Structure 1
Amino acid sequence: MTVKSYLPPLRAVQVFEAVGRLGSVGGAAQELGVTPGAISQQLKVLEEHLSIKLINKDGRRTAISDEALAYHKLISEGFDRLRMAHKVVERAKMGADLKVSGLPTLLLKWLNPLLHDFQSQLNDVPLRLEATHLEPDPDMPVDMFRLTYGSVAQRFPHARMLFTDRCFPACAPAFLEKHPGARTPEGLLGLPLIEIDWGPAYNAVPRWADWFASQGMPDAKFKTVAVHSLSSSALEAAAGGQGVVLAQRSFARFDLELGRLVRLSDHYLPMPLPYYVCWGETTLDQPKAREFLNWLMTICQKLATEA
């Protein structure tokens, strides 16, 4: 059996995509606004065109045949693209939200305190922030940016480096008043230290053992009072007087300016990889998206001169 070289009727392909996605003829009929008989007729048209069996039925259960699975997967990707294109048009007519997805602490402690400067430029375009560790699909929605860390940025169609961070010890002013020795590596050894552990995928991110090694104390024995998976919660613990944290400058910047935290050393450890802003193929089709990216890069340049 051979497949005809010309394309089948688009309506028949649309019907097959809906049946396979929804798992029933009735569901496809309801979505497409036709009768189940019309669905069956279009499936027959496509089967005759492709010369393969498309659907297996077992009672009320409808399943794609093994030989049609790859075909359905590819056409589903095509219809997903068509639906995305439709959303692009609708959002352009309605005035789309500008969505920024990012690692939770990166949004909370770095971006959010800076946004007042940009929001005055948005006018009636809402800015939506989504804090999540889950990386979005590389083919991101048209209205989305992703703020992330490290090599994961390479997955996306476009990425630009924001900054490379640095780490140093910090604590609450009241804690330092009680423990003035915290300003020296030797003095830190007997104090409660707050650890940050992002998990095995980020084992190169500096931790307290790395800090002491950089100070010529590779075998230092120190006391960890708590381990946090989120940098933001570790910073809050330190600001609350629970101990000393190895803080990232970008995340601790406003807490330092507000006096909630005190930097204990001029020495620092660089983060092994930069932070990035990522976006999809059509994101910058929106004028507000271009404005946001330009603003973001300007902010990063300004902060770099203050470092």
Structure 2
Amino acid sequence: MKSYLPPMRALQVFEALGRLGSVAGAAQELGVTPGAISQQLKILEEHLSMKLINKDGRRTALSDEALAYHRLVSEGFDRLRMAHTVLQRAKMGADLKVSGLPTLLLKWLNPLLHDIQPHLGDVPLRLEATHLEPDPEMPVDMFRLTYGDVAQRFPHARKLFTDICFPACSPAFLDQHPSARTAEGLLDLPLIDIDWGPAYNSVPRWADWFAAHGLAGARFKTVAVHSLSSTALEAAAGGQGVVLAQRAFARFDLELGRLVRLSDDSMPMPLPYYVCWGDTTLDQPKAREFLNWLIIISRKFKDET
């Protein structure tokens, strides 16, 4: 009687073949001959009682029935590879991993790290900037800085702050366009927009700013649309136009004089930023010190806002 799961080696071959798209590629990655690949695929087909491979001349492709199966098998191997990475990192020496949205790391966290680094001793910070939200279950030894309701997917989450946004531009641009101080004046100026994508369609944009100032439906000039707030801020600091800036991200550019806030009015972001962590994250060296520091600086930031 067959076991419930196919042989692991056959699954490994199947996963590599589907990912790489060729018998030769799978053989090279796994360090075996093409014949050994074909043999393991035959074992898997016999175990599953289904055809997995279509051959068209020299081209090898997964059958329609095998595609959905391969997606699930690939997820399993991705988790195995991730588990191995976590284990290897632990063997090589502990570091403190912080994953976060790119602009949140670059523009908010990074300028503040000089304050916490002396307290971390020999434990280095490993910063990973990515929009892709990690699996909330693995790796369990990391912090994640993120925005909005996605934080509820993680075992633990703590609200950091709710940001505000307002128009900002470079000092030189303001000197050339003093009308930028008013909402009406902004209508005739080049505006830099930020679009995080459909998952964040409630984040304020220029149309929302004008509507809040009695100019709903007014026409305005967008010169560029950025997917990253950081690149939009750099464009504004370079004199390309006016950006609807978040205070957390523009804070140090404002202090350094690279940007000028154009209005005392502001619009709140609809949702807060969060720090998230797993069940064993705080077992890592210096993890509690980092979390406590993060909460303290976010509290100070809220008081200043």
Global fold match (TM > 0.5)? yes
Q: Is contact 2:98-2:145 (8 Å) kept?
A: yes
CA distance in structure 2 between the partners assigned to 1:231 and 1:77 by the alignment: 31
**Could you tell me which of 150, 160, 182 is aligned with 2:180?**
182
Amino acid at match of 1:241: G
Q: Is contact 2:188-2:220 (8 Å) kept?
A: yes
The residue that corresponds to 1:261 in the other structure is: 259
CA distance in structure 1 between the partners assigned to 2:5 and 2:174 by the alignment: 74
Offset of 1:222 from its aligned partner? 4.5
The residue that corresponds to 2:223 in the other structure is: 226
Where does the alignment leave 5 or more consecutive residues of structure 1 unmatched? Answer: 34-62
The residue that corresponds to 1:137 in the other structure is: 134
Where does the alignment leave 5 or more consecutive residues of structure 2 unmatched? Answer: 32-60
The residue that corresponds to 2:298 in the other structure is: 300
The residue that corresponds to 2:106 in the other structure is: 108
Find the residue that maps to 1:206 and give its secondary structure. coil
Q: Is contact 1:225-1:243 (8 Å) kept?
A: no
Amino acid at match of 2:225: H
| Further displaced range: 140-149 or 85-94 | 85-94
* 1:160 and 2:152 aligned: no
| Further displaced range: 295-304 or 276-285 | 276-285
Alignment CA distance shift 1:29-1:270 (3 Å) = closer
Amino acid at match of 1:267: D
Offset of 1:145 from its aligned partner? 2.1
Identity between Structure 1 and Structure 2 (%): 73
CA distance in structure 1 between the partners assigned to 2:70 and 2:243 by the alignment: 52
Q: Is contact 1:97-1:125 (8 Å) kept?
A: yes
Offset of 1:284 from its aligned partner? 2.1
**Could you tell me which of 280, 283, 287 is aligned with 1:282?**
280
The residue that corresponds to 2:202 in the other structure is: 204
Alignment CA distance shift 1:235-1:81 (3 Å) = closer
CA distance in structure 2 between the partners assigned to 1:304 and 1:19 by the alignment: 51
CA distance in structure 2 between the partners assigned to 1:104 and 1:297 by the alignment: 19
For residues 82-116 of structure 1, the C-alpha deviation after alignment (integer angstroms, 9 at most, x for no partner) is 77666555534432232222222111111111111
Find the residue that maps to 1:241 and give its secondary structure. coil
CA distance in structure 2 between the partners assigned to 1:204 and 1:252 by the alignment: 20
TM-score (norm: length of structure 2)? 0.72
Q: Is contact 2:169-2:262 (8 Å) kept?
A: yes
The residue that corresponds to 2:170 in the other structure is: 172
CA distance in structure 2 between the partners assigned to 1:183 and 1:22 by the alignment: 56
TM-score (norm: length of structure 1)? 0.72
| Further displaced range: 272-281 or 84-93 | 84-93
* 1:244 and 2:255 aligned: no
Q: Is contact 1:103-1:131 (8 Å) kept?
A: yes
Amino acid at match of 1:277: V
Pairwise CA RMSD: 4.2
Find the residue that maps to 1:299 and give its secondary structure. helix
Find the residue that maps to 1:260 and give its secondary structure. coil
Amino acid at match of 1:206: P
Offset of 1:163 from its aligned partner? 1.2
* 1:146 and 2:144 aligned: yes
Amino acid at match of 1:306: E
Amino acid at match of 1:221: A
Q: Is contact 1:235-1:247 (8 Å) kept?
A: yes
Offset of 1:79 from its aligned partner? 7.9
Find the residue that maps to 1:111 and give its secondary structure. helix
Q: Is contact 2:98-2:126 (8 Å) kept?
A: yes
Amino acid at match of 1:192: L
Q: Is contact 2:98-2:128 (8 Å) kept?
A: yes
Aligned residues: 302
Alignment CA distance shift 1:28-1:234 (3 Å) = closer
Q: Which runs of 4+ in 1 moved over 6 A?
A: 3-23, 27-33, 68-83
